[in-house]
Structure 1
Amino acid sequence: MTAEIRQAIIDNALSEGFAQVGFCRPDGVPDIAERLATYVGNGWHGDMGWMAERMHWRGNPAALWPEARTVIMLAEPYTPSHDPMEVIGQPDRAAISVYAQNRDYHDIVKKRLKRVGRWMIEGFGGEIKVFVDTAPVMEKPLAAAAGLGWQGKHTNLLSRELGSWFFLGAIFTTLDLPIDLPARENCGSCTACLEACPTDAFPAPFQLDARRCISYLTIEHKGPVDEPLRSQLGNRIYGCDDCLAACPWNKFAAEASEMRYAARADLIAPRLAELAGFDDAGFRAHFSGSPIKRIGLSRFLRNVLYAIGNSGDPALLSHAQAHTEHEDAVVSDAARWAVTKLSSSA
């Protein structure tokens, strides 16, 4: 009977828009605590104190909800229809990570998970909890344990069927369901993702030092970026797709079916001059419903000003000068740095 329930859950999840479904035990990644302890012990988590503070749960999914018997991992593609690396060659424009070029995936995926979860409870009983990157859950190792893919040398999840452009969601349930075999690593001798990183953020294959990762620096890091790294950010103002885009497995990437992930035309390659002119109200209005809004105007302007400094375009000098006396010291520092860079290249 449990096999029939499992298949019914898969069928329902696919009908809701998920592309893949896998099952594992909450304790299906026995080395996760050790891996996390090494990561935090090396200081690679940077300012992400919440990672260290909640290591007990993050390192042991079974402790997060002891009653859970099965973890259902679900994948949803957001594969871009355009070349995400094209904007890197346009220094007067901003590069925004593909996943943030439209609606916030947290809201979309979580609503889908809740619909699947409610359907499960109505049909088969039990209890559920759903998670989308907002709780101490290590989604990538659990997804690998559930057979959805493997963590590549860039530490992101890869799939034979989906490539690298997909979101993950988790349903913890008290139902005891048959599980999948873990996925096997299929990177072979390829190092394309490691070589593509602009800041050399990988100490070794399968290891990431977030303190050098552009996604971390532009999104999670609150203070000024170390000066040696600023020039390496290029025009990336929110996240970075270089290691994902470089992966050869993307030739198998599944097409995104959710239209709310399709890039807004004004976020594929927006002009830095326009972004530098936002006030708080304009910023919030422009990025309403977008994950970009969560970093706030000051951090956003800091990133834009670093990109302006890296542009080498004297026409952008006045846009940097406009922020040299900004009330936020991090923003004014970024503006002065950009002015110096542009003045020296003029």
Structure 2
Amino acid sequence: MQHDKTSRVFVAGHRGMVGSAIVRRLLSDGYINVITAGRDELDLLDQGAVHSFFQENEFDQVYLAAAKVGGIQANNTLPAEFIYENLMIQANIIHAAHSHDIQKLLFLGSSCIYPKLAEQPMREDALLTGALEPTNEPYAIAKIAGIKLCESYNRQYGRDYRSVMPTNLYGPNDNYHPDNSHVIPALLRRFHEACKRGDSEVVIWGSGTPMREFLHVDDMAAASVYVMNLDNQTYQANTKPMLSHINVGTGQDCTIKQLAETVAKVTGFKGALTFDSSKPDGAPRKLMDVSRLKSLGWESSIELEEGLNNAYEWFVDNAANARSH
């Protein structure tokens, strides 16, 4: 493992859930030169500004965690923003890294890159083997483009740009917007507010039978730093030139019903859980094959209930800000 704690490391997207977790991890690991830039300092959609920023700062490593993200409703209603902004952010940062001779970069993608009907669990080589989920296709295509950008700079210029594909993430700094959040923050907020009102019932969209995999963002950050610092020989022995991305997950899933029951336990909700089967379920199962990452020596360590407790504590402590995301 290559761990030079004096390396100058730029984390793009440090205010987001994943980026902030990577910063926490780097600092706890003893890195002393972690560089960040907020939107008021650097517009990642502005190619000239990004290149100027890279010229002014000499980086050794770049974590590309910046992205426009959202739930099904956001992806459905803002497809142009999701494909344009993600393509621009990725292209600007990856090209700037290459232009300023930065050899090491880690790009963070998403499990939605895989076909809607991919065989379960989803392996890395399922990429581009079938049609994508229509509701988030623009976002998925942008993330696929990010993987291919990294692969292309590696192939043409000998760069060491790696990509990790996380499963569904949750944890501190998640988005708790009432309309645009993902399933865990949506459920935590709904159950929290039901407890405050003294509701006797919480209604959950869908049948509760679909299965999903969830990874705490602190585990994702640990995996990201681990993959970034793997020596080339170990990394390349477990990847292929045109299949360079690595799945990151727990390798375990649960039903939405089981998730809701655990959220009820964590939040202290004592009422009934009702599932509205008239609402869409989405894909019946989404599970990542994480055998490649395990072969590289990393496994997740945060169990779901432990992680949900941590996420809920953060939400309670930051409820005012979490609502305004």
Scaled by the length of structure 1, what TM-score is found?
0.23
Scaled by the length of structure 2, what TM-score is found?
0.24
Which structure's CA Rg is the greater one?
1
Relative to its length, the structure with more strand (as a share) is: 2
